[in-house]
Amino acid sequence: MAQHEWSKTSWQHFPALQQPRWPDQQEYAAAVATISQLPPLVFAGEIRDLKQKLAQVEVGKAFLLQGGDCAEDFTMCTAPAIRELLKVILQMAVIMSYAGGKPVVKLGRMAGQYAKPRSADTEMVNGVELPSYRGDMVNAIDPTPEARRPDPQRMVKGYFLACATMNILRAFTLGGYAALDRVHAWNNEFVKTSPQGQQYERLAAQIDQAINFMRTVGLDTDIPQLQQASFFTSHEALLLGYEQALTRQDSTTGDWYDCSAHMLWIGERTRQLEGAHVEFFRGVHNPLGVKIGPNHEIDNVKKLVQALNPANEPGRLTLITRFGARKIAENLPPLVRALKQEGFRVVWSCDPMHGNTYTAETGHKTRSFDDILQEIRTFFEIHWAEGTVPGGVHFEMTGENVTECTGGGRNIMAHHLAENYQTMCDPRLNAEQSLELAFQIAELLRER
C-alpha cells in the first residue's frame, strides 16, 4: 500500500466500507464541494500541539482522557449541553491530575462526532424494515423511510454545527470559564449532593487553598496554566468525502492536515489494511487513533501500525483497545508484547465501552459500570506487567443526568433505564458515573 503516491483523493481507488448510499450523486458532490470551500475547523499548529502532548502520554508523562457522546445529536448543539459535557470532562481531568498526579490531555468526542458505522444496512423498527440510522450527518433517527434517506445537505449542516460547537468550546476553555479557581462551579447541581459530588467538592477546596496560597506568597496566578484549559476535538473519521473536503495543506510545512478535528480515529469496522480509510489517513499528519477489538489479528495490527506510522513518530498513533472486561486478559497481553518487540511507539488507550455492550431485559442497549471499571483495571494491570504504559481512556459519556449505563454509586438497575434514556446510539456514562470512574483512575495513576 505504501508504494503508491498519496493524495487527498487517492482513497477513492480503494474500497470504502460504511459509506452511506447517497441517493443523488450530484447533490452529494455539490455538498462536498461546498464544504471544501469553507474555513478549516482547527489549525495545523493546534494539531501539532496535540501530537506533542500525546508523545508525552506515550512515555507516561501525561494521561489521555477522551470522551463524549457516542453520536452527537444536531438538536443538542446548545450552549448548556456543550457546557455540561465540558464541565464533566474538566472535572475528571482535575481529579486525575490532582489526585492522580499526572497532566491530563483532554480530548472531546465533540464538534463532529456525527457519523456512525452500523453492523447492518437496515434495521427493524416496530416490524418495519428501514435503512439504519447512520448519524445526524447522514440521516435522521425518526423511524420513517423519508427520515432515513441519506441527505448530503446534512454534511453541510454538520460542518456548521461542528463549527458552532468549536466556537463555544474555545470560548469556554480560553475565556475564563475553565480557570482553575472556578473548579467548584463545574460541579453539576444534580451531582453535588451525591458522594462523588461531595468527594469532588473536597478536592476542589484543596485546589482553592493551593491557589490562594500561591496568591498569598505573591505568585502570579494570572497565567494561562491556571486561567485556561487546553482542549482538543476528535471524532470517528467515517465519511471520507467530508474528511477530504476539510483536508488542507499547511502553508508553513507543506504537510496535509485533516482540519475537521485535531485527532481522528478509524473505527473497528473500517480499519482494513487495503481499505480507503487507512489509505486516506496515512497521508494526513494528524494524530490518529485506531480501534482494536477482540477479532483482530496481531500480524494485521502490526501492518496497520507500519502503514499509519512508518516513521514511528511519537504521538502519531493511539491504539484504542475495546475488548470487553471478559476478553481483555486474553487479548491485550499478546498484542502488547508483539508491538513492544517491534519497537513501535504507540499510545495505548482503553475504550471500556464498546466491548461491554449488552441488551438489558427491558430491551435497552446498556453497559454495566462494574464491567467498565473492571476492563480499565485489567488494562492498567496488564500494561504494568508488560512494562508498557497505560496511556489513556476513551469514554462514551454525557453531562446530562441520563440512565443509560447500569450500576455506579446510585446503582442504576435495568428497571431504571427507561427513566431517562436519551442516547442516539450507544449508552453513555452520566456525570456521576464519570466522576466515580475518574476517582478510581486517579488511584490507579497514583499506584505507579
Q: Residues in the site for ligand PEP, rule: CB under 6 A?
A: 70, 117, 236, 267-269, 291, 322, 354, 426
Name the one range near Co ion by CB under 5 A: 62-70, 238-246, 299-307, 333-341.
62-70
Residue 285 is placed in which grid cell? 499528519
Work out whether 426 is an interface residue with Co ion (CB under 5 A): yes
Measured between alpha carbons, how far is 32 from 154 in angstroms, rounded to an integer? Answer: 11
Measured between alpha carbons, how far is 385 from 214 in angstroms, rounded to an integer? Answer: 39
What minimum distance in Å lies between the beta carbon of 238 and ligand PEP? 9
Residue 147 is placed in which grid cell? 427520515
Measured between alpha carbons, how far is 47 from 211 in angstroms, rounded to an integer? Answer: 30
Of 97 and 378, CB closest to ligand PEP: 378
What minimum distance in Å lies between the beta carbon of 396 and ligand PEP? 7
What minimum distance in Å lies between the beta carbon of 231 and ligand PEP? 19
What minimum distance in Å lies between the beta carbon of 267 and ligand PEP? 3
DSSP characters over 350-392: E--STTS-EE-TTS-EE-BHHHHHHHHHHHHHHHHHHT--EEE
Of 258 and 426, CB closest to Co ion: 426
- Among ligand PEP, Co ion, none, residue 333 binds (CB under 5-8 Å by kind): none
- Among Co ion, ligand PEP, none, residue 279 binds (CB under 5-8 Å by kind): none
What minimum distance in Å lies between the beta carbon of 109 and Co ion? 9
What minimum distance in Å lies between the beta carbon of 66 and ligand PEP? 10
- Among Co ion, ligand PEP, none, residue 267 binds (CB under 5-8 Å by kind): ligand PEP
> Which residues have C-beta within 8 Å of that of residue 295, sequence separation ≥ 6?
none
- Among Co ion, ligand PEP, none, residue 58 binds (CB under 5-8 Å by kind): none
What sign does the CA torsion over 310, 312, 317, 319 have? positive
Of 158 and 197, CB closest to ligand PEP: 158
Residue 372 is placed in which grid cell? 467498565
Measured between alpha carbons, how far is 359 from 366 in angstroms, rounded to an integer? Answer: 6
Of 51 and 291, CB closest to ligand PEP: 291
Of 386 and 426, CB closest to Co ion: 426
Q: Report whether 405 contacts 433 (CB < 8 A).
A: yes
Residues binding Co ion: what is the number (CB under 5 A)?
2
Residue 24 is placed in which grid cell? 443523488
User: What's CA 306's distance to the chain center, in Å?
Assistant: 23
What minimum distance in Å lies between the beta carbon of 226 and ligand PEP? 33
Report residue 69: phi and psi, to 5°: -65, 155
- Among ligand PEP, Co ion, none, residue 296 binds (CB under 5-8 Å by kind): none
Strands (E), 220-316: 231-236, 247-249, 256-258, 263-266, 288-292
Can you tell me whether residue 224 is helix, strand or coil?
A: helix
Residue 64 is placed in which grid cell? 489521555
Of 214 and 273, CB closest to ligand PEP: 273
Of 154 and 322, CB closest to ligand PEP: 322
Can you tell me whether residue 3 is helix, strand or coil?
A: coil
Residue nearest to ligand PEP (CB): 267
- Among ligand PEP, Co ion, none, residue 248 binds (CB under 5-8 Å by kind): none
Of 314 and 399, CB closest to ligand PEP: 399
CB atoms near residue 126 (< 10 Å): 6
Measured between alpha carbons, how far is 430 from 408 in angstroms, rounded to an integer? Answer: 10
- Among Co ion, ligand PEP, none, residue 322 binds (CB under 5-8 Å by kind): ligand PEP
Closest CA to 329 of 303, 347, 355, 354: 355
Residues 179-198 that bind Co ion (CB under 5 A): none
- Among ligand PEP, Co ion, none, residue 103 binds (CB under 5-8 Å by kind): none
CB atoms near residue 225 (< 10 Å): 10
What minimum distance in Å lies between the beta carbon of 150 and Co ion? 20
Answer for which of 31, 62, 70, 389 binds Co ion (CB under 5 A) is 70
Measured between alpha carbons, how far is 310 from 162 in angstroms, rounded to an integer? Answer: 31
Of 48 and 394, CB closest to ligand PEP: 394
Of 269 and 303, CB closest to ligand PEP: 269
Contact residues for Co ion, defined by CB under 5 A = 70, 426
